[in-house]
Structure 1
Amino acid sequence: MTKRVLLYATLAAGAFVAVFPYLLVVLTAFKTQAQLSSTEPWLPGLPPTTANLTEILGGEFPRYILNTVAMTALLTAGQLVFTTFAAYAFARLRFRGREVLFWLYVATMMVPGAVTVIPLFLIMRELGLVNTWYGLLAPYVLGTPYGIFLMRQFFKGLPAGLEEAARIDGAGPLTILVRILLPLCRPALGTLTIITVISSWNSFLWPLIVTSGDETKVVTVAIASLKVGIGVDYNLMMAGGLIALAPMVAVFIFFQKYIVRSVVLTGLK
């Protein structure tokens, strides 16, 4: 009983630490400037106000949300298509240098993303893609080493007899991939989709560097830009954070089964 009490107490403390920042976001978003300075951060402001949400939604913020939705959708679609084809080639097709090329590509996962930001920006500048949708999407829309590694491992775990039977029936590589293997890869595709959606929605550093206009500004950069002068309008920032957080909460609520499956799948692979 003592061990069980200690276990649940530890879990409760961990859950509180994880949830507390989100609670502060919600409470601060519904406070006025006067309430923010006169009440403790963990206490609600009475009466609560929706002025912060009204103010931020009355400006350009809805446009930034649409930009983020478009970026997330395009990156996710690109990841699913190009990652699947590349992973299938590395897993099933035989060509010279396949293993060397694959492991060299996967080795780039060891390089911190911050190291490649400046070279990527210089490339985009030389191509004239700075502050454009092409520059925003180009580095990540064609797939990532992690996604290709995940899908390749899943493809390699599928029975080879399925492909052999399909080849006997006259199916080519594209038919085998689309009509036989992809329906079996729904758990892996779901995992890749969830990971890509979350990482794309929360992307901050690359959009901050490569974009500067409202046409391509995403929600994370918009929230950071709410800092004015030497002060910070925490009420507006938290209202923007609450709006940006809502879609991810919805994703968790409706797809929590797949999120748990993705954790299991990525852990096993």
Structure 2
Amino acid sequence: MTRSRFPVSLLCYLILVGGCVLAVFPYLLTLLTAFKGPGQLFATAPWEPGLPPSTAAFERLFASGFGGYLLSTVLVTAGITAGQLVFAVLAGYAFARLSFPGRDALFWVYLSTLMVPAVVTMIPLYLMMQKLGLVDTWAGLMLPTILGTPYAIFLLRQFFRTIPADLEDAARIDGAGRIRTLFSIVLPLSKPILVTVTTLAVVANWNSFLWPLIITSSEDKRLLSVGIALFKGEIGVDYNAVMAGSLIALAPLLVLFVFFQRFVVRSVAVTGLK
């Protein structure tokens, strides 16, 4: 029986190893290319490290104003994430606990917007920002997503519904209002889903490319992803510097996921998602 299962197990492991190599190789390529010197990029195979390692690509990158892109991205990501978290918590709690006419219908209509590709609403959003005079402004960059996203509200609503209503009833008997109950009872019990929503918001806004590319044109409002895509050397695309920028952009997200992955898995399991 064991011998008959061995070929199947071996095949499964080979497929898993192959998938792992395909998934990890782009990150390895980014790391190796970022530390190659100008003459080492085409003189070595992609999977060969440059010897000795060189930081010239990082020096050229920051000399071109990359530090400003990084700072702008941090500030915009922090601002949008904070706004999404606040408004998504309020909306998720309202949909989970408050009773008002058309609550469920409104929730499912709002949730159905997840089926609409973002590129479909890009032009209408741009025209709205243009009419409001918000093109190439920080407000125009942040406004479309700062008020929350359907997915974040859905996750929070599902999690809040798992918290026993008796706890909130007991708080109201003691004289606590809705806001006090939310901040003193519900949110302390919702740390896993709050971490998950925060993590997803940071990743989405940190990697945002198309909307910042369309709505902004000034150098001082250029974000990380746009700056990397538009980075050029003296005679064309500087691949070493592009990979160095990609490595810097990638590192915080990997650290974020490593530290908070257990909260993400736990919250998704509790909300019933697969």
TM-score interval for Structure 1 and Structure 2 normalised by the shorter chain: over 0.9
Q: Is residue 2:173 matched to residue 1:165?
A: no
Q: For the residues of structure 1 that align with 2:210 and 2:186, how far apart are their CA atoms?
A: 36
Q: CA, structure 1 residues 245+140, in 2 after alignment: closer, same or farther (shift >3 Å)?
A: same
Q: Is residue 2:192 matched to residue 1:197?
A: no
Q: TM-score by structure 2 length? A: 0.92
Q: For the residues of structure 2 that align with 1:49 and 1:257, how far apart are their CA atoms?
A: 36
> Pick from 231, 240, 259: which aligns with 1:235?
240
Q: Is residue 2:78 matched to residue 1:73?
A: yes
Q: Is the 8 A contact 1:82 1:143 kept in 2?
A: yes
Q: For the residues of structure 2 that align with 1:230 and 1:265, how far apart are their CA atoms?
A: 53
Q: For the residues of structure 2 that align with 1:266 and 1:164, how far apart are their CA atoms?
A: 22
> Pick from 123, 129, 133: which aligns with 2:128?
123
Shift of 1:7: 2.4
Q: For the residues of structure 2 that align with 1:146 and 1:130, how far apart are their CA atoms?
A: 26
Q: For the residues of structure 2 that align with 1:258 and 1:3, how far apart are their CA atoms?
A: 34
In structure 1, list runs of 5 or more residues that go unmatched: none
Q: For the residues of structure 2 that align with 1:52 and 1:122, how far apart are their CA atoms?
A: 39
In structure 2, list runs of 5 or more residues that go unmatched: 1-5
Q: Is residue 2:49 matched to residue 1:44?
A: yes
Q: Which residue of 2 aligns with 1:148?
A: 153
Q: Is the 8 A contact 1:52 1:235 kept in 2?
A: yes
Q: Which residue of 1 aligns with 2:15?
A: 10
Structure 2 residue identity aligned to 1:231: G
Paired residues for 1:47-58 under 5 Å: 47-58=52-63
Shift of 1:153: 1.0
Shift of 1:230: 8.5
Shift of 1:111: 0.3
What does the per-residue CA deviation read over 1:56-90, in whole Å, with 9 as the maximum and x for residues that have no partner?
12231011111111111111111111000011111
> Pick from 113, 117, 131: which aligns with 2:118?
113
Q: For the residues of structure 1 that align with 2:269 and 2:225, how far apart are their CA atoms?
A: 29
Paired residues for 1:168-187 under 5 Å: 168-187=173-192
Q: TM-score by structure 1 length? A: 0.94
What does the per-residue CA deviation read over 1:151-195, in whole Å, with 9 as the maximum and x for residues that have no partner?
111111211111222222222111111111111111111110111
Question: Following TM superposition, where does structure 1 have runs of at least 4 consecutive aligned residues deviating by more than 4 angstroms?
Answer: none
> Pick from 226, 229, 243: which aligns with 1:221?
226
Structure 1 residue identity aligned to 2:257: F
Shift of 1:259: 3.8
